[in-house]
Structure 1
Amino acid sequence: MKTEDFNHELTIKTKVQQIQFEQWMRTFFYLTYKLYEVFDPTLQDMHYIKLYGTLTEGLEYAKIVLQHLENGKNLNKKNWYIKCVEGLTILKSQLTERELIYIEYRRHNICHMFQNQYERIQENYTIKYQRKGMDLTEIDSLLKSLLLEFGSDRNIDEHLKNKMKLTITSLYDELIRIKKEE
């Protein structure tokens, strides 16, 4: 690939991913606010997808962009990403290990018909003991303990919504304030 072709494709990729990230964040905030107004199981499912993506791939993307902006001249964009990374890092740190596992598990339940990654007996009849370096029995125990504590998925939804509300609303307000300064 020629250098000019590489640079052109990299520029396009960078712009597209920035747009995709901003669209993802807008949808995440929209779903969050809708769920503050009224519970809707479909919106709740979509929220788990967006929440998990935001706390994993989204946070990592924002950190990378922020590194690239360190020596840049666009202070508004840099401030936006600083607040975004700070807010998402705080949000993630407020969640316990079992809550994070639950969020990922709910996302998998929504996106995949079967939960083979959490099953010990695999389709090829081999036995799986771990998922992402964690023992499957420990994952099962953590998920069960959360369900026992709150009694239902719906109650866990409410617990997580209330736990994250202040951080998410503060992050949203701050990002909107910075955007308006452009």
Structure 2
Amino acid sequence: MKTLIRSALLLLATTAPLAFAQATWYVQTVIPEVISVRTPTTSIGFELSLENYPPPQFPARYAATSLEDGVLPVQVFVNEPGVWSLLLEIPDLLDESGNRLIPAEQILFRVDGGPWLRGSNGPQEFYTDVGATDGWKELRLEFALELKGHEPPGEYAVNVVVSAIREP
């Protein structure tokens, strides 16, 4: 009996440290500083027909018809403090030969139902905020085409560029 107890104690003494052993690892993650923009990959279209063109007078404004009710949803995600801005570039409408048919200034846009602004070939700041967003922040851009009466007939569509910058 004594031998059995000694064997059990010896077994317990040699295996106990293994049962309670543990290891510690230092776990580190790096979340990069991010400013990210998401938009649909589609064209913005303006549909004119014999029912609504020519208008009673010029200049005349036509709301975009393609996309959902002519609205381009823009989503932005920022996880860094500081000032950040969204920029919009609207190119001139060109024909197949590269000739300018309608200048970018005749394409109007507004943000979340605000005042109408004229487009520009170059980057144009249209929204500024400070600090991180709470998840993805969505803005709604609406577009309109202003015709002055001398534009040639044809199918008009435009691809706009939305980008984001953060001030250092």
Q: TM-score, normalised by structure 2?
A: 0.24
Question: As a proportion of its length, which structure holds more helix?
Answer: 1
Mark the structure with the bigger radius of gyration: 2
Q: TM-score, normalised by structure 1?
A: 0.23
Higher relative contact order (CA 8 A, sep 6+): 2
